[in-house]
Amino acid sequence: MILGLGNPVLTDDAAGLRVAEALEKLLKEKPIPGVEVLASTRAGFELLDLLTGFDIALIVDAFLAEEPEPGKVRHLDIDDIAGNARLNAVHEISVGVAFELGKKLGIPMPGQVEIFAIEVEDIYTLSEEMSPVIQAVVIPLAMDMYERVKELSETPVEDNPEDNSPDDDGPKTNRAFYPPDNE
């Protein structure tokens, strides 16, 4: 599972969505069986629905650091996240809390989570245009994540009798508040 998070109308906050779109294009050109791409403008409780049943999740989002280096990509795990409205929520549950809650409720959440956090400066200006430094990161990060997914797909996953992974229909993109394509 690849999950891009963001807001398409708040400048650099769209970074995770744009990387997910680029990854979806790469996967259409060079498919990797069993990989699904999702994009969401929300997080919190919605993550329970989006990530249920996947063994591995790669999440990409904008990251607001105290002293940001715009365009720097941090490779984090679930315990490292902070500084983002979705990764570390102010008004709803954070990504980390969503995973914790899912496990406590017996919801099959991914056992392996990798977070690609793109450091940004502006996630508050109303604009559909990302800053050039963040836009320049989208394709290289999508290519890096594609290679990571390829590497992970070649690594055998332990047999899990409760495997709830979705059937492979190829890549799809689901967006909160966007009409689904063909569904």
The domains of the chain are located at 2-152
51-80 pLDDT tens trace:
888 999 999 999 888 888 999 999 988 777
pLDDT digits (tens, 9 = 90+) for 139-153: 999 999 999 999 999
Q: Is residue 127 over pLDDT 50?
A: yes
Confidence (pLDDT) at 87: 59
% of the chain exceeding 70 in pLDDT: 78
Instruction: Give the whole-angstrom CA distance, residue 15 versus residue 102.
Output: 26
The predicted pLDDT at position 100 comes to: 81
Is 60 exceeded by the pLDDT of residue 29?
yes
Contact residues for 11 (Cβ-Cβ < 8 A; gap 6+): 120, 122, 123, 124, 125, 126, 127, 129, 130, 131
User: What would the pLDDT profile of 87-117 be if each residue is shown by its tens digit?
Assistant: 545 446 777 777 888 888 998 989 899 999 9
The partner residues of 97 in beta bridges, in order of sequence, read: none
Architecture of domain 2-152: 3-Layer(aba) Sandwich (3.40)
